Amino acid sequence: MTTCRLITQKPQKRYLIICGGHAGNEIVCAGISAVCEGIAVWAMNHVKNAKETVYVDISDGYFFVCFPMNSRTKTAFEIAAASLRQIEHMYSECITVTDIVSDDDNSRTRVDK
């Protein structure tokens, strides 16, 4: 099972997508990987000062991307989120998607591999 967290950190003005685990289905895994790697590549190529503001970590069974919040990245984040939710709708036994919205400065998002 792959678990994806779609995180909006309002005080820090950033978006994060964190996915971990193995879907157990090659087609589902390929779809999740395509969405995640697509948003990472998009962010690295289209976010201003990407080398300083976009963070990506990809390893076997783990994906992490973090990028600043603005109107352009909001659209990209929403497209990736909708795509992952659609995969979840079709293959709920392979993936769960959770939305997390942080509204206060004291909240912390733990990022585990």
Assign residue 55 the CATH number of its domain: 3.30.70.1490
Look at 1-5, 17-21, 105-109 and tell me which has the smallest mean pLDDT: 105-109
Above 80 in pLDDT, residue 113?
no
Annotate 63-86 with DSSP letters as a single string. Answer: EEEEEE-SHHHHHHHHHHHHHHHH
pTM across the whole model: 0.90
What integer pLDDT is reported at residue 36 of this predicted model? 98
Q: Which amino acid is at 66?
A: C
Q: Mapping DSSP to helix (H, G, I), strand (E, B) and coil, where does residue 8 land? A: strand
What is the structure's pLDDT at 111? 47
Flag whether 112 is in a domain: no
Burial of 63 (0-12, 13-18, 19+ CB in 10 A): buried
15 in a domain, yes or no? yes
Residue 113 forms part of a structural domain: no
33 domain residue, yes or no: yes
Q: What is the pLDDT of residues 50-94, one digit of tens each?
A: 999 999 999 999 999 999 999 999 999 999 999 999 999 999 999
Q: Is residue 107 part of a domain?
A: no
What domain range is 36 assigned to?
A: 2-102
Asked if the structure places residue 87 within a domain, the reply is yes
In a domain, 44, yes or no: yes
The pLDDT score that the predictor gives to residue 103 is 86
Contact 95, 88 (CB under 8 A): yes
